[in-house]
Structure 1
C-alpha cells in the first residue's frame, strides 16, 4: 500500500529542516538488548478484582476524546475470552468489531460499564490520537526532557513495569491519504515481543487504558501529572526524544513491514 512506511520520510524531513535530534541521522540498527522471557515477567500472584476507580477513569478517558471499547480481563491465570490457550490474556478487545464499536458516547460507555463489570478497556488509535509505546527504562529517561517542554507534554501511562505509553495527536487521518499507513511500527499483539523498541500505535491498533489489569498482576496506570486531561502533542517531536532515549539503551528503531488489524 502506498504510504505504508512514510515514517522514514517524515523523519528525514525533520533532519533536512536542521533538527540535530532527528533519529534519521543515527544508525538504525543498534545492538538489541537481551529480553526477559515472557513467562519470567511479573509476579503472577493471580488476577485481582477490578480497580475501584475503573468506572471513573474510563469515563474520564472518554471525556478526553479517547474512543474506547470493552476488553477481556485476566481470569484464573488465563483470559476471560473463550479462546483456548489465549496467548494475550486480558490484553485484547472483547469484540472482533472493536474498530467500528469504539466510541466516546457517554450513554454507550455507561452501558458497557454496567454490562461488563469486570472488563478492561482499550482505546482505538489512529482516529483521535496515536500512542508511542516504548520500554519503561527508555521512557523514564525521556520523561524529564518531555516534561521540560510544554509542547511535548502529554498523557503518559505505565503499562505494568515494562512499557510506557505516550499519547499524542494522530497522524492517521491526514488530508492526503498517501500520507497514512496502518500501524506500521506496531506489531500483532501475539508477536509484540519481537518488537521491543518503539511501537507506534496508529490506525488499526489499540492500547489498554488505565486501570486495566495485566496477566502479571500489575496494571496500566496514568503517571502523576500526565493524565488524559492534558492536550495531545504532535507525535514527531515526541518520537525524536523517545528515539534518542531508546538508542541509549540499544533498542532498534525498525519499522515493521506488515500491519495488522482485527
Structure 2
C-alpha cells in the first residue's frame, strides 16, 4: 500500500491519507476499527482529523504508511479532484458514450459495491446538481452522487472487507493527467443514470 500511496502523491500530486486496515479474526477478517458491523471494513478513515492528515508529499506518505504498512489508501476529494459517482451499469454506459463522442476523460474507479467514480476538476461536485437541473432532471431522481470538499474515496487497490478491492477502470496515465470539468461529462452521465433508473423501474414492474 505504501508504494501506491507514494505513487499517487509523487506522480499525480494527489493528497493521500491512511485509513483502517483488515485484521485476521479466526477464519475471517475484520476492520481494524473493531466494529463487527463496520460498513466499509478496512476502507474508512482511522482518525476523525483525516482531512488534516492528508498529504501530497511522497516523503509524507512514506512516513504515514511507515507507521502502519497495511493501512488502506484514501484520498480526499475537493482538493486536486472531485468525483462523480454512479452505479456500475450506468457508469459503463456513460463510458461508452463518452468514448464515442471523443470527450475528455480522467481516471475512473470501480468499487466492490459496484459504484463507479469519474474524476473531474475540483469544484465540479458543487456545480453538478444545477447542471443536472438544466438538463431537465431532478437531481433526486438520478443515482448520481457528487463528492467534493469534505469527502474522500478509497483508492485502488484498497480492499473493502471480503467484498474485494477497488479497481481502476481507466488508470491514471500521462494522457489523462488533465482532468475534465463536470460540464463536459454531466450530460452523458445524467443520461446513463436516467436510462439505468428507467430499466430498474421496468424490471420491477415485470
With the length of structure 2 as denominator, give the TM-score of the two structures.
Answer: 0.77
Residue 222, structure 1, aligned to residue 160, structure 2 = no
Structure having the larger proportion of residues in strand? 2
Q: Distance in 1 between matches of 2:103 and 2:13?
A: 19
- Structure 2 residue aligned with 1:57: 4
Alignment check: 8 A CA contact 1:213 1:220 kept = yes
Give per-residue Cα distances to partners, 1:144-166, cap 9 Å, x unaligned: 12234554311011112511111
Alignment check: 8 A CA contact 2:18 2:74 kept = yes
Gaps of 5+ in 2: 130-140, 199-206
| RMSD after superposition | 2.8
Secondary structure of 1:216's aligned partner: helix
Q: Distance in 2 between matches of 1:196 and 1:90?
A: 29
Q: How many residues align?
A: 181
Q: Distance in 2 between matches of 1:126 and 1:152?
A: 20
How far residue 215 of structure 1 moved from its aligned partner, in angstroms, is 1.7
With the length of structure 1 as denominator, give the TM-score of the two structures.
Answer: 0.61
Structure having the larger proportion of residues in helix? 2
Of 52, 60, 75, which residue of structure 2 is paired with 1:108? 60
Of 44, 65, 73, which residue of structure 2 is paired with 1:92? 44
Going from structure 1 to structure 2, the CA distance change for 1:153 and 1:240 (only over 3 Å counts) comes to same
- Structure 1 residue aligned with 2:193: 246
- Structure 1 residue aligned with 2:204: none
- Structure 2 residue aligned with 1:156: 108
How far residue 94 of structure 1 moved from its aligned partner, in angstroms, is 1.4
Secondary structure of 1:250's aligned partner: helix
Gaps of 5+ in 1: 1-53, 174-179, 184-194, 252-262
